[in-house]
Chains A and B, each alone.
Chain A
């Protein structure tokens, strides 16, 4: 067991280093900070001086190691636009995004797990087809279009929910207020994630239902309810762990678009405004952070997977 975990971590390390190299290479490709200085009032000599001051006269790999060293000290560079440290900007926007992601993840599991199991138990019945068709709808609707539809119905027509933001301006911000602002973004994120997950859980449960131990349980005559709830569900934990692992990168990507549409003041909105103003240190800071989170999430999933499923061969 420990051998497996150590091996998994050893594989992850070169990938992590590779991620930082790709990240840095993209940032260099995007343009050097010197371009911002150029203009009729800046002399060649001043640019040359700035180049040496920034270390840009060094070879690429030296620059990379300098950047990596800074990174390890928590310095992710400075925003070109606001001159704020990138790490500070990320830290101040992280809260709302984590809240949105966490709640969406839970809601999507609450949708996908019962629906997937229900669908598998009623395989090839009308109910099963209805759930599967709905799940296809979930993975086929562009999240921004679903957002627009929801805003049209719940804000414009019914006036029940606010169209964007995290709190009502001027009002005292309470839990209820934030929750009201969260309903639509969470629904959209959760629905689009649940789409593919329902089918994944359905086929995983179908496989479990064909296992010999379930036939044994049924043969013992303990009743359909207990067969499914005691024997099948526990084994369905394995695909659910996988689903959570698969959702992490989707969450990061989805948050960018959803936060933009609902002007949710999180990391995604910050990234979008950095993208439109070509603020590369900020963009690549967010990319690096999310890539590392995804890598760690995959690692944890693999290890959890091995823990949950005792039949997995660890060699």
Chain B
């Protein structure tokens, strides 16, 4: 009986499409499903911030440093702004920084990795040695140096994080291209005289999208953490714009830390929840997209 069932599901597996297989494997990861729901709610709340925020995030609406009450669910900050409204807008900014920085670094990494892996020779050597050099500098230190040279601010932070975090992706893509270059379908394209552009972007790239996607989720998590750290140190997003990191900046003062936990606990916990959810989704994607697992 059991054997029969197994055979039946095997037959089913043959008929299901690649995407169906991936989503079936993904749904097995319970924590990732929960994370997906959490992410959807939080991203929704961030996108809808102008609609659902009870107050203007930059307007002074209450008492200085008021504790949470019915009127202000998460209290008010040192100059009387509503913490909940600021938190919603901060999430918007932090997600924006994370997503854009990830897009930039992924684009740079993919292009450099493709070129290095496909053309080999001197191009490969120069790109990979340059990657080694950038990787040798401790990541946070490089970001801090860049943040101290360029004026801190939202767009500079996005660019800095985007331009510093590509070496990992470049190495990953290069490795994949090296092995794909030896496959028959790529060799076939070469013999057929297809243009290099077509081979790179229509043949090789689609076959290495899965690992890039998985890696990009971890870059997203990392860049959100880095934005938070930079803003916390005062080198990132500058007030009055709120980001999850610079909302924690106030906690460096002892009165805020000891007497007003509603000012720093919510943004901190929100970062943890967001980053953890992204990491879980990335982990489930890794398992789901892995061709070796079933």
Nearest-CB distance from A105 to chain B (Å)?
15
Given A142-B228, A145-B248: A253 in contact with B138 (beta carbons within 8 A): yes
Instruction: Compute how far the CA of A14 lies from the CA of B142 in the bound complex, rounded to whole angstroms.
Output: 20
Q: Do residues A145 and B268 form an inter-chain contact, with CB atoms below 8 A?
A: yes
Main secondary structure of the interface of B (DSSP, over half): helix
Instruction: Compute how far the CA of A152 lies from the CA of B268 in the bound complex, rounded to whole angstroms.
Output: 13
Q: What are the nearest 5 A-B pairs in CB distance?
A: A253-B140, A140-B276, A145-B268, A252-B138, A253-B138
Quick one: which of B137, B271, B272 contacts A291, CB cutoff 8 A?
B137
Nearest-CB distance from B27 to chain A (Å)?
17
Could you say which residues of chain B place their CB within 8 Å of the CB of A137? 272, 276
Central interface residue in B31, B138, B245, B276, by most chain A CB within 10 Å: B138
Could you say which residues of chain A place their CB within 8 Å of the CB of B251? 148
Could you say which residues of chain A place their CB within 8 Å of the CB of B264? 148
Instruction: Compute how far the CA of A298 lies from the CA of B257 in the bound complex, rounded to whole angstroms.
Output: 40
User: Among B7-15, B57-65, B71-79, B229-237, which stretch is in contact with chain A?
Assistant: B229-237
Interface size class of A (residues with CB under 8 A): 35 or more
User: Among A15-23, A45-53, A114-122, A214-222, which stretch is in contact with chain B?
Assistant: A15-23
A257 within 8 A of B: yes
Q: Do residues B228 and A257 form an inter-chain contact, with CB atoms below 8 A?
A: no
Given A252-B141, A291-B136: A26 in contact with B149 (beta carbons within 8 A): yes
A271 within 8 A of B: yes
Q: Do residues B272 and A141 form an inter-chain contact, with CB atoms below 8 A?
A: yes
A290 within 8 A of B: yes
A249 within 8 A of B: yes
Could you say which residues of chain A place their CB within 8 Å of the CB of B271? 142, 145
Q: Do residues B137 and A290 form an inter-chain contact, with CB atoms below 8 A?
A: yes
A161 within 8 A of B: no
Instruction: Compute how far the CA of A143 lies from the CA of B232 in the bound complex, rounded to whole angstroms.
Output: 11
Could you say which residues of chain B place their CB within 8 Å of the CB of A64? none
Instruction: Compute how far the CA of A137 lies from the CA of B184 in the bound complex, rounded to whole angstroms.
Output: 43
Interface residues in B115-168 by Cβ distance below 8 A to A read 129-130, 132-142, 144-145, 147-149
Given A19-B136, A253-B140, A290-B141: A140 in contact with B221 (beta carbons within 8 A): yes
Q: 17 A-B residue contacts at CB 8 Å? A: A15-B133, A29-B149, A139-B279, A140-B272, A141-B272, A142-B225, A152-B257, A156-B257, A249-B139, A253-B138, A256-B141, A271-B141, A275-B145, A283-B145, A286-B141, A287-B145, A291-B138
